[in-house]
Amino acid sequence: MIFNGSCAFVHNVKSFQKSNKYIKPCGNPFHQEFSTFGAIPEELYRKGPSRSILLGNLERALKDHQVDMAWESYKDFKRLYGFPDQLYVSNLITELSYSSDSKSLRRASDLVLSISKEKSVLLRHEAMVKLSLSLARAQIPVPTASVVRLMLEKRSLPPLDVLQMVFLHLVKTQIGTYLASNILEEIGYCFQKLNMHKSAQTELTKPDATIFNIVLDACVRFGSSLKAQQIIELMPQLGVIGDAHTVVIIARVHEMNGMRDELKKFKDYLDMIPVTFLNHYQQYYDSLLSLHFKFNDIGGASTLLLDLCEKFESKKFTRGQREQNKAYVVPIGSDNIKMGLKLQFLPEQLQKDSVYKADSKRELVFLKNGKFVLSNKGLAKLIIGYKRHGRIDELSKLLISIHNMLNSPENSSPCSDVIDACISLGWLETAHDILEDLELEKYCVRKGSYTSLLTAYYNKKMFREADALVRQSRRVSLSINLSDETTLSSDISDSEDKPVLDLEKLNLTCKSDLGDSIVQNMREEDKTVSFMVHEYNSSIYFFTTAKMIGDAIQAYRKMQKMKIQPNVSTFSHLIIGHSSLGMYREITVLWGDIKRSMKNQNTIYNRDLYELLLLNFIRGGYFERVMEVTGFMMENNIFLDKWSYKIEFLKFHRDLYRSLTALDAKDETQSRRIEHVQAFRKLVGIS
């Protein structure tokens, strides 16, 4: 009867219990013994299978690598008995982590997050390390960041080699780069917080130069240059010494941010490196030259070019063996700050076996046969700069000097290329001026350049100039003969040669590659920021890093009076400067200026700027502004790193209005503030 009719048995047990009220089901020895054979008392019959059965199912599924079955078994157990023991939890997380299925990886991430909220003691470090790496490899950035941040809260980051790989995979996407840079800053904050407890720091993995290089390079690739600047300033705070890769990436960051003075601080050290490192540092000199052009400093650009040609040609870039491993120190911001940041770097240290691979950009100068050579783009910028300033004679002398230093053959002369480009653009007077300058310097120009210029004069009926050119060619022993066919087939622009550069008057189908590059550069310059903005930004950055906020504001107000439109860097420097002094109220005023600037220019600024504003409004407790900025970011599909904002809130306002509602407010102002705080809590997931 027992084995053939379990329902009848249960009915008999119930009748027995009712007839004998002094006997409790759990106290019946027979009942307890029978339950081990699979009988189901009323409680378990209603509740489901026993704990041991469900654990057995989970254990078998994990042993057989049946991921879906293991997940279902876990859910059944969790519903009836809560979380299983730590061993089962760790094995389940590990098994899910080994799956190539993104669904399984997300399940593992959700499991870790739920356990962290309810019973974090069950989470083993090793399982979380495996999960973080698997999530990163699968390009699931937000869960990856969440797991790494949970480990950071427990002061137990992955080992350095694993952490490098996590960051390397994380930064392959734009959102992953945002998260990686924020995590790196959070690690830095954690180390600073533990600064008073040196023993506690030893338990936490410290990011090295490779991790900083990975994140900085990703910031450059995805245009997050303001965040990159903050990451650079974090390096000396953590005592991380940069290597040769670091310097090259910093050069790109400074170029993007228009920070020429900061980049020039590296030059004296890099000028002393061995010749064997020339190829690596092409990017640095390319970025520095680009900044000279951005600042409209044609003299600085020329000096740099001559310096490169002279020093590299004479092999002056050498240093004694004794100093090779010496770390050099470059101040960040003002040189006069006693307690300012000092970035250390080893210019000759290249991590050849590193997981990081440099991806540099060389547009203006490059190495050819061991010598620096100007690209067409670089030469075009020189021509435009000298023509704009009306200093063609200086351009001629520079071209001759570069040609002589590099010992270039006559048929590959940059001088003749420049003349031909000017002719193709219709800048005939400029071309003729250069010819005369070269003649005075006893420099021989290609016969074809004389022929092209003479043809252009005849086509434009400039016979007086043509006659002068013929006489000039005879002085240098050149005989020019033009046939009617040559004259009629020439394709020369009818534009007038004036100092003012006008794109609309240029021949946009010129035959010269250099001429094409000149036109393209002029188009780009029409869209670039005025050099005056870079000049003012440099001053504002200097003042803010020196804590001279009054001078920074004065420079900013002067920009406004001169109708010079500030850009992202302007506002970023001012926000960071005010933030360093705890002047959060003044940042709300800047937010008003930013909104007006966006409206006037019909533009949306860099995401880094909005996040910078958001974090400072959280610190200052301006939650109406917080919700305004977050609303603006969501409207424009700008990624919100809600975890980061939650961390910032908990640092400064953990218990703010935690148990109050708008009904508890004393006045309308407090009522609105409570509503904004509660809305923010809901947004970032603070219960």
pLDDT digit string (tens) for 337-375?
556 789 999 988 887 656 666 666 778 988 887 778 888
Quick one: pLDDT band at residue 656, thresholds 50, 70, 90?
confident
CA–CA dist 394, 437 (Å, integer):
9
Q: What's the rounded mean pLDDT across residues 308-325? A: 59
- Residue 23 pLDDT: 41
What SS3 state is found at 166?
helix
State how far the Cα of 398 lies from the Cα of 382, in Å rounded to an integer. Answer: 10
Query: Residue 240 has what DSSP assignment?
Result: P
More confidently predicted of 340 and 535: 535
Q: What is the DSSP string of 39-80?
A: ---HHHHHH-S-HHHHHHHHHHHHHTT-HHHHHHHHHHHHHH
Return d(Cα 386, Cα 202) in angstroms, integer.
57
Listed residue (127, 205, 228, 171) closest to 355, CA to CA: 171
Residue 1 has pLDDT above 70, yes or no: no
Mean per-residue pLDDT for 73-83? Answer: 92
- Rounded to two decimals, what is the model's pTM? 0.86
Of 475 and 14, the structure prediction assigns the larger pLDDT to 475
Res 373: pLDDT: 85
pLDDT at 309: 82
Instruction: Tell me the two tokens of residue 588.
Output: 């709300």
SS3 label, residue 337: coil
**Would you say the C-alpha torsion 420, 421, 424, 425 has a positive or negative sign?**
negative
Q: How many angstroms separate the most distant Cα atoms in the chain?
A: 134
pLDDT above 70 for 672: yes
* Count of positions (residues) in the chain: 687
Residue 128: what are its φ and ψ, rounded to 5°? -70, -35
What is the Cα–Cα distance from 133 to 97, expressed in whole angstroms? 9
Residue 442 has pLDDT above 90, yes or no: no
Helices 244-257 and 209-221 cross at an angle (nearest 10°) of 30
pLDDT mean over 413-427:
89
Q: Is the pLDDT of residue 553 over 70?
A: yes
Mean pLDDT of the chain: 84
Residue 424: band (very low, low, confident or very high) from pLDDT cuts 50, 70, 90: very high
Of the two residues 587 and 311, the one the predictor is more confident about is 587
Whether 639 and 607 have beta carbons less than 8 Å apart is answered as yes
Please, which residues have CB within 8 angstroms of residue 489's CB and are 6 or more apart in sequence? none
- The string of pLDDT tens digits covering residues 193-234 is 887 665 555 578 999 999 999 999 999 999 999 999 999 999
Distance CA 421, CA 517 (A): 9
E strand or H helix that includes residue 554: helix 549-561
- Residue 478: the pLDDT is 72
What's at 466, amino acid-wise? A
Helix (H) / strand (E) containing 436: helix 428-440
The pLDDT confidence band at residue 525, using thresholds 50, 70 and 90, is: confident
* More confident call, 49 vs 201: 49
Rounded to an integer, the average pLDDT of 406-427 is 79
Distances in Å between the Cα of 570 and the Cα atoms of 252, 295, 336, 532, 546 are: 18, 15, 22, 12, 16
What pLDDT is stored for residue 29 in this prediction? 40
The span from the CA of 498 to the CA of 390, in Å, is 10
Closest C-alpha among 38, 75, 64, 42 to residue 53? 38
User: Is pLDDT at 408 greater than 70 in this prediction?
Assistant: no
Q: Give yes or no for residue 500 having a pLDDT over 80.
A: no
Residue 13 has pLDDT above 80, yes or no: no
User: What six digits make up the tokens of 120?
Assistant: 């974090």
601 has pLDDT over 60: yes
Q: Please compute, for residue 126, the number of CA atoms within 13 A of its CA located in the half-sphere on the CB side.
A: 8
Residues 6 or more apart whose CB falls under 8 angstroms from that of 36 comprise: none
The answer to whether residue 276 scores a pLDDT higher than 90 is: no
The DSSP call for residue 567 is: -
Q: What's the confidence (pLDDT) of residue 312?
A: 61
Asked if residues 459 and 507 have their Cβ atoms less than 8 Å apart, the reply is: no
Distance between CA atoms of residues 515 and 432, nearest Å: 16
Percent of the chain with pLDDT over 70: 82
Angle at 538 between CA 536 and CA 541, to 5 degrees: 110
Of the pLDDT bands very low, low, confident and very high (cuts 50, 70, 90), residue 175 is: very high
Residue 508 has pLDDT above 60, yes or no: no
Please tell me which of 24-28, 430-434, 521-525 the model is most confident about, judged by mean pLDDT.
Answer: 430-434
Distance CA 285, CA 292 (A): 11
Average of per-residue pLDDT across 556-565:
94
Distance, in Å, from the CA atom of 593 to the CA atom of 421, rounded to the nearest integer, reads 44
Per-residue model confidence (pLDDT) at position 482: 58
Give pLDDT, residue 358: 63
Q: Are 577 and 543 in contact (CB under 8 A)?
A: yes
User: What b/e sequence results for 65-75 when a residue is b if at least 16 CB atoms lie within 10 Å of its CB, and e otherwise?
Assistant: eebeebbebbe
Two structure tokens written together for 213: 């290089």
Structure tokens at 55: 């654990």
Mean pLDDT over residues 140-159, rounded? 95
Please give the Cα distance from 540 to 331 (Å, whole number): 17
Pair 246, 278: CB distance under 8 Å: no
pLDDT at 549: 96
- Tell me, what amino acid is at 415? C
What pLDDT is recorded for position 202? 57
More confident call, 26 vs 105? 105
- Look at residue 560 and tell me whether its pLDDT is greater than 70: yes
Band (pLDDT 50/70/90 cuts) for residue 280 is: confident
Q: Is the pLDDT of residue 556 over 90?
A: yes
The pLDDT of residue 190 is above 70? yes
Least confident segment among 69-78, 317-326, 514-523: 317-326
